[in-house]
A and B are shown apart, each in its own frame.
Chain A
Amino acid sequence: MSAITPEIVAEHGLKPDEYERIVRALNREPNITELGIFSVMWSEHCSYKSSRRHLRKLPTEAPWVICGPGENAGIIDIGDGQAAIFKMESHNHPSFIEPYQGAATGVGGILRDVFTMGARPVANLNALRFGSPDHPKTRHLLSGVVAGIGGYGNCVGVPTIGGECDFHPAYNGNILVNAMTVGIADTDKIFYSAAAGIGNPVIYVGSKTGRDGIHGATMASAEFGANSEEKRPTVQVGDPFTEKLLIEACLELMATDAIVAIQDMGAAGLTSSSVEMGSKGEVGIELDLDNVPQRETGMTPYEMMLSESQERMLMVLKPGREPEAMAIFRKWDLDFAVIGKVTDTRRLVLKHKGEIVADIPLGPLVDDAPSYDRPYEETEKQDVLGPDAFTAPESNADALRELLATPDLASKRWIWQQYDHMVMGDTIGRPGGDAGVVRVHGTQKALAITTDCTPRYCKADPVEGGRQAVAETWRNITATGALPLAITNCLNFGNPEKPLIMGQFVGCLEGMAEACLALDYPVISGNVSLYNETNGQAILPTPAIGGVGILTNYEQRASIAFAAEGETIVLIGDTEGHLGQSLYARELCGREDGAPPPVNLSAERKNGDLVRGLIMTGVATACHDVSGGGLLVAIAEMAMASRIGAVLDYDRGGVPSYAYLFGEDQGRYVITTNSPELVLEQAAVDGVSAWVIGVTGGATLKISEADSISVAELTQVHEGWLPAYMAIP
C-alpha cells in the first residue's frame, strides 16, 4: 500500500487535524481505501459537521410523526393505517456542471429515499433557483434542469405536481435544484435501514457499479472555482428505466416478509449505505467486493466503495430468503448479488481478491465524525421602510401588468408542462395553484403538497426569513383546505466557514424552529447543502421548505380559480402596506433594501384556521394566499385561473393604494364567498381581520373607477415571459 501523504489527505477534502482523528480511530495509518471511506463519511454532505449542532434545535415531534429525521425519509401518520413518507434533497453542484443528468439523478435519488422505506412514490415536486435571466448560462441551465427532471420523473411514472422557480444574480454561479418526493405506505409495512441478525446475508440489487460519480459527495462539500467544469466526471448518469424496475421489484419483495433492512445507495454509494446499516443496527458488516456487480473490469476497492452509480440498493434479508428475492429481481431484469453478511464485530470489513482491504471500526467512523461549532455573526437588522420610501406607480394597472411579466412572478407553465403531472390518475390539484393535490389512491383522502421559500427575506433578516418560509408553505397548504402536518427542507447556504454565512444558517434555523412550534408543523426530514459559492460569491440564504398537509375529504377543497361570477371577495388578515423587500420594490423601484415583512405567528395560525374552516364548510368557494407581489397579484392570479374578472372596492384605511395593493404583509388570504356576512361574523368571533374588497365578474380586473385591465391582457403578459425568454437561441 502506498503511503498517505499530506497532499493525498488534502485532495480528499480532509483537514490535517481530521486526518489525525482518523489515525487515532484506527490506531494506525489508513490505507487509500480507508482514507476514501473516511473522507466521504466525514464530508460536509454526509456528516453535517457544520450544521449538526444547530439542526438539533428544530422541533421534530408531534403525535402524528412516526419517524423524524435520521432515516432515509420522514414518516407521518395519515390515518386508516396509512403513512406519508417524504423528503427533499439538493442536487445543486452536479446540476450546475451537467444540468440534465444532475437534475435527473437528483429526482432518482430522492425517489429511492422514499421507496426504500416501503412507500410507493405518489408525487414529485421541486424548488429551483437560477441566476439572472441575463446571465449567459441561465437559459442553458434552466432548459437542461427542466428536461432532466421531466426525463426522469416522467419515465418512472410519478407525477410532478408542483414547485417553484426564481431567478437572482446571486445564483449565477450556483443554481439550486431541490427535489422532493412524497410516497404512501401502510404503517405496518415500513422498512428501516438498521441491519440486524448476525450472519444474515447482505444483498446488492439494481444497476451495476461503474466508475461514475466517484467523490460526488466530496464535490458537493466544496466551493466552486474557475475550474468547476473539470468536475464533470464526478456527476452521475441516471437511468430512470432501471429505477422504475427497481421500484416495482422492491415493492414486490416488500409485500413479503423477507427483508430485515434496506437502504438506497445515494451519496457515497456502497460506503454510506453499508456504514449506515451497520452502525444503526450496532452490528458489523463484511463485504466481499469480488461479488459486487461491476460495469467495468479492473475496478479497485477504492473505486467500488466511492462510486455513485445510480439505481442501486443494499438489503439485509432473513436467512434462506435469497431464492424468492432473487426470482423477483431476475423477473425485473435487475442484478441481484449476495455480497456480504452481518457480523457481530461492529466493524466494516472489506475483502477483495482474498485479501482484507479495509477494516474500520464503525463507532469512530460514525460517532467520531468531526462536529464544528463554527463562529457566526448575525446579519445586521435593516430599517423598516414605510410606503413613502417607495415611489408610486403611474397607475396600479400598469404596475400589475409589469409585475406579472417579471421572471419570479411570470407563469411557469413552460416548465410544468414538461412534467407529466397527471400520471397515476389522482392529481386533483395541478401545478400553478398554491399547492399540488393528489388523492390517496382509492380513498376520500388527499395530500396537499408545496415547496416554498423567499430568499430575499432570508438575506435581509435570516430569522424572519426562516419563519416566513415555513409559514408560507403552511399557508399554501391551508389555502387548498388541507391541514398542514409536517415539513421537510433543503437548507441551501454558502460557505459555513464564513461567520456571516454561518449566521444566516443559524438565524434561518431559529426562525424556522419558532414557526414550526407555533404552527404544530414539525420537521421530519431534510438535507443541508453548504458551500454554494463560486469565487467567493455566495447564494442568497435559501432554506427551501417542502410542506405536506391532508384533506380528509377531498370534496371539501378550494382552488385559486374564482368559482363563479358575482361572488364576494374577502381579504383575510391585516394589511399595513409593507413594501420593504417586496417584488414591487425590487422590480419596479430597483431597491433591494429594508426589513422584510414580519410574520406574526399567532395571527398566522388564527387566520389559517379560519380559512380552512371556511373551505371545509363550503363557505369559501375559492382561496389563494397572498405572497410575492402582494394582494393585487393574488387577485389577478385568481382571475387568470378562471378567466373571470373582478371589481374591487375596498377601504384601505389610510394606506396608499400602491402599498395596499403590492405590499407583502404576511398571513393573508383572498377568498370568495356567497355568504360574506357569515365570513365576517366568523372572523369577528375568531379575532381575525376580514374585509370585503370586491366582487367577481366580467372580463376585466377593475382596480378603481379609472384604473382597469382585461384578464386576457394579464394572461398574455403573464404567460408570455418564459416562453419568449426560452425561445431566444
Chain B
Amino acid sequence: MKPAVIVFPASNCDRDAAVAIEKICGVKPLMVWHGDSTLPDVDLIVIPGGFSFGDYLRCGAMAARSPVMREVVDRANKGTPVLGICNGFQVLTEAGLLPGALMMNAHLKFVCKDVALKVESNQSMFTSRYQAGEVVTYTVAHHEGNYFADDATLGEIEQNGQVAFRYLDNPNGARNDIAGIFNRERNVLGLMPHPERMIEPDLGGADGARMFESLVASL
C-alpha cells in the first residue's frame, strides 16, 4: 500500500490521518504539499480535515484549485481511491469529484460530538469490513457539514447507491441525513464524520479503524 495525505495551509487533521494510516495500515503515508504540481505513484489519496485556507471564500474552494488538485482529479478519474474527510469532503465537492455541496450547519453553530451512522453500503474498498446496514459511531467536528444537492442530483445519488453513510440523528440538517457519499464509480468517498478519530477505545471507540482495514484489504 502506498498512501498519500495532501497537506494544505491550515489542514489540521493531516497528522491524525497519517497516524491512523500508519497504525492500522502499517505504512507511513507520504505527506504531499498542496503546492506540488506532481504526485508520486500512490494507490490511496487522503484529503484530510481542517480549515484549508482558513475556510475563507467557501470551505474547500481555494484548496480545490491548488496545483496538486489537478493531479488528484486526474488520478481519481483513472480509478485511484480518494478519501476526503470533513474539509476533505468539502474540497472534493469543490473539485467536482463528488456531487452536491456542504452548507453551514442548519443550527449555525460548530458541532463536535459522537454520531451514530448507518453504513449504507459495504460494496466499496472503503467499507468492505462493515456490514451493510450496520450502525457505527464516528465523531463529527464541523461548521459546514450540511449536505445539499438539488432534487435531481439527490435522486441520482440515491438511485445509484452512492450514499455511503447516513446519520441516525442528523447533527447539521443534511438532506436525506447524508453523512458521506461515493462517486458513481465508488473509488472516491467524501464524508463529514472522522473515521481517523475513532481508531482505539481510548479515544471513544474503534469503529473508524475498519475503514482503514477495508482499504488494506482491497489495496
Footprint of B on A, CB under 8 Å?
Answer: 147, 150-151, 154-157, 239-242, 244-245, 332-333, 416-425, 427-428, 430, 439, 554
- Chain B proximity of A253: nearest CB distance (Å): 16
Q: A418-B112, A420-B112 are in contact. Are A425 and B196 (CB under 8 A)?
A: yes
Cα A554 to Cα B203 in complex, Å, equals 12
A244, A417, A425: the one contacting B16 at CB < 8 Å is: A425
Within 8 A of A (CB), among B29-58: 49-51, 53-56
B203 to A245, Cβ gap below 8 A? no
Interchain CA distance A423-B48 in the complex, whole Å: 12
Segment with Cβ contacts to A, from B7-15, B76-84, B124-132, B175-183? B7-15
- Whether B141 pairs with A422 at a CB distance below 8 angstroms is yes
When the two chains form their complex, are residues B12 and A244 in contact, meaning their CB atoms are under 8 A apart? yes
20 further A-B contacts with Cβ under 8 Å, apart from A423-B141, A428-B203, are A150-B110, A154-B112, A155-B51, A241-B55, A241-B56, A242-B54, A244-B12, A245-B10, A333-B9, A417-B111, A418-B110, A422-B141, A424-B15, A425-B15, A425-B19, A425-B199, A425-B203, A427-B203, A439-B202, A554-B202
- CB distance A154 to B51 under 8 Å? yes
B172 beta carbon closer than 8 Å to chain A: no
Selected contact of A420 from candidates B9, B15, B55, B110, CB within 8 Å: B110
Asked if B112 contacts A239 (CB within 8 A), the reply is no
| Complex contacts, B141 vs chain A, CB 8 Å | 154, 420, 422-423
Q: How far is the CB of A239 from chain B (nearest CB, A)?
A: 7
B51 touching A422, Cβ below 8 Å: no
Residue in chain A with minimal CB distance to B141: A420
A332 touching B109 in the complex, CB below 8 Å, given contacts A239-B54, A422-B194, A424-B15: no
B197 on the interface (CB 8 Å rule)?
Answer: yes
A154 near B194 with CB under 8 A, answer no
Verify A419–B53 contact, CB threshold 8 A: no
Given contacts A150-B110, A423-B16, contact A241 B139 (CB under 8 A): no
| A88→B56 CA distance, assembly (Å) | 29
Query: Separation in Å of the A17 CB from the closest CB of chain B?
Result: 47
Contact B16 A241 (CB under 8 A): no
Please state if B51 and A417 are interface contacts (CB–CB under 8 Å). no
Nearest CB in chain A to that of B13: its residue: A423
Beta-carbon contact of B113 and A417 below 8 Å: yes
Indicate the member of B111, B112, B113, B199 with the most A CB atoms within 10 Å: B112
Which B residues touch A240, using CB under 8 A?
Answer: 51, 54
Which has the most chain A C-beta neighbours within 10 Å: B13, B53, B196?
Answer: B13
Q: How far is the CA of A241 from the CA of B13 in the complex (A)?
A: 14
Q: Which residues of A contact B56 (CB under 8 A)?
A: 241
Q: Is the CB of B196 within 8 A of A241?
A: no
CA distance A554 to B12 in the complex (A): 24
Tell whether B20 is near chain A: CB-to-CB under 8 Å. yes
Q: Which of A147, A420, A424 contacts B109 (CB 8 A)?
A: A147
Interface of chain B, main secondary structure: mixed
A157-B12 contact given A241-B51, A241-B54, A422-B203, CB 8 Å threshold: yes
**Would you call A417 and B112 a contact (CB within 8 A)?**
yes
Point out residues on B near A: beta carbons under 8 Å: 9-10, 12-13, 15-16, 19-20, 49-51, 53-56, 109-113, 139, 141, 143, 194, 196-197, 199, 202-204
The answer to whether B109 and A418 touch across the interface, beta carbons within 8 angstroms, is yes
Which residues from B are CB-within-8-Å of A420?
110, 112, 141
CA–CA, A155 and B13, complex, Å: 11
List the A side residues contacting B12 at CB < 8 Å.
155-157, 244, 423
A156 contacts which chain B residues (CB < 8 A)? 10, 12
Top 4 A-B pairs, shortest CB-CB distance? A157-B12, A241-B54, A155-B51, A425-B16
What chain B residues lie within 8 Å of A430 (beta carbons)?
A: 204
CA distance A332 to B112 in the complex (A): 28
Question: Could you pull out 18 A-B pairs where Cβ atoms are within 8 angstroms?
Answer: A147-B110, A151-B110, A155-B12, A239-B54, A240-B51, A241-B51, A241-B53, A244-B10, A244-B54, A417-B111, A417-B113, A420-B112, A422-B112, A423-B16, A423-B197, A424-B16, A425-B16, A427-B203
Task: Report the minimal beta-carbon distance from A726 to chain B, rounded to whole angstroms.
Answer: 10
Closest to A427 in B: B203
Cα(A305)–Cα(B50), bound, Å: 34
Of chain A, the residue at the smallest CB distance from B51 is A155
Across the interface, do A244 and B203 meet the contact criterion of CB distance under 8 Å?
Answer: no
- Bound together, the chains give a CA A417 to CA B196 distance in angstroms of 19
- In the complex, what's the smallest C-beta–C-beta distance from B65 to chain A, in angstroms? 15
Also in contact, A155 and B112, with CB within 8 A (given A422-B194, A554-B202): no
Measured in the bound complex, the distance between the Cα atoms of B9 and A421 in whole Å is 21
Q: Which residues of A contact B20 (CB under 8 A)?
A: 425
Bound-state Cα–Cα, A333 to B66, Å: 14
**Which A residues touch B194, using CB under 8 A?**
422
Closest-by-CB residue of A relative to B50 is A157
Compute how far the CA of A533 lies from the CA of B139 in the bound complex, rounded to whole angstroms.
Answer: 42
Contacts of B203 in A (CB 8 A): 422, 425, 427-428
Docked pose: A425 CA to B198 CA in angstroms: 9
- Could you tell me if B202 and A428 are in contact, using CB atoms closer than 8 angstroms? yes
Q: Report Cα–Cα, A419/B15, bound state, in Å.
A: 19
In the bound complex, do residue B110 and residue A154 qualify as a contact, i.e. CB atoms below 8 Å apart? yes
Bound: A154/B55 CA distance, A: 11
- For the complex, give the distance between the alpha carbons of A378 and B110 in Å: 45
Q: Which residue of B lies closest to A332 (CB)?
A: B9
User: Among the interface residues B12, B111, B113, B204, which one has the most CB atoms of the partner chain A within 10 A?
Assistant: B12
Question: In the complex, what's the smallest C-beta–C-beta distance from A727 to chain B, in angstroms?
Answer: 10
Chain B residues near A439 (CB-CB < 8 A):
202
Residue of A nearest to B113 (CB): A417
* Chain B residues whose CB sits within 8 angstroms of the CB of A419 once the complex forms: 110, 112
For residue B161, give the distance in angstroms from its CB to the closest CB of chain A.
30
For A424, the closest partner residue in chain B by CB is B16
Given the complex of chains A and B, what is the CA–CA distance between A449 and B164 in angstroms?
38
Nearest-neighbour CB distance to chain A for B205, whole angstroms, equals 11
CB contacts (< 8 Å) of A150 on chain B: these are: 110
Cβ of A242: which chain B residues have Cβ within 8 Å of it? 54
Residue of A242, A423, A427 with highest tally of chain B CB at under 10 A: A423
Which one of A244, A421, A424, A427 contacts B51 once the chains associate, using CB atoms below 8 Å? A244
Does B197 lie within 8 Å of A422, measured CB to CB?
A: yes
Q: Which residue of A lies closest to B198 (CB)?
A: A422
Complex alpha-carbon distance, A155 and B10, angstroms: 7
A104 to chain B, nearest CB (A): 13
Residues of A within 8 A of B139 (CB): 422
Name which residue of chain A comes closest to B194, CB basis. A422
Of chain B, the residue at the smallest CB distance from A241 is B54
- CB distance A425 to B197 under 8 Å? yes
Rounded to whole angstroms, the CA-CA distance of A157 and B16 in the bound complex is 11
Q: Which of B20, B55, B199 has the most CB of A within 10 A?
A: B55
* B139 CB → nearest A CB, Å: 5
Chain B contacts for A147, CB-based, 8 A: 109-110
- Least distance between A51 CB and chain B CB atoms (Å): 36
Residues of A within 8 A of B16 (CB): 423-425
| Chain A residues in 8 Å Cβ range of B111 | 417-418
Within the assembled complex, what's the spacing in Å between the Cα atoms of A430 and B112? 11
Query: B89 CB to closest chain A CB, in angstroms?
Result: 16
Cα distance, A240 to B9, chains bound together (Å) = 12
Query: Closest residue of chain B to A151, judged by CB?
Result: B110
Chain A residues within 8 Å of B196, by CB? 425
Shortest CB–CB separation between residue B27 and chain A, in angstroms? 17
Q: Which of A239, A245, A422, A425 contacts B9 (CB 8 A)?
A: A245
In the complex formed, the residue of B with least CB distance to A437 is B202
Bound: A155/B59 CA distance, A: 12
CB distance from B105 to the nearest CB of A (A): 10
Q: Which B residues lie within 8 Å of A241 (CB)?
A: 9-10, 51, 53-56
Chain A contacts for B10, CB-based, 8 A: 155-157, 241, 244-245
Pick the residue among B13, B19, B55, B109 that contacts A157 (CB under 8 A). Answer: B13
What residue in chain A is nearest B143 (Cβ atoms)? Answer: A154
Residues of A within 8 A of B54 (CB): 155, 239-242, 244
* A427 / chain B contacts, CB cutoff of 8 Å: 203
Which residues from chain A contact B199 at a C-beta distance below 8 Å? Answer: 425
Contact partners of A423 in chain B: CB under 8 A: 12-13, 16, 49, 141, 197
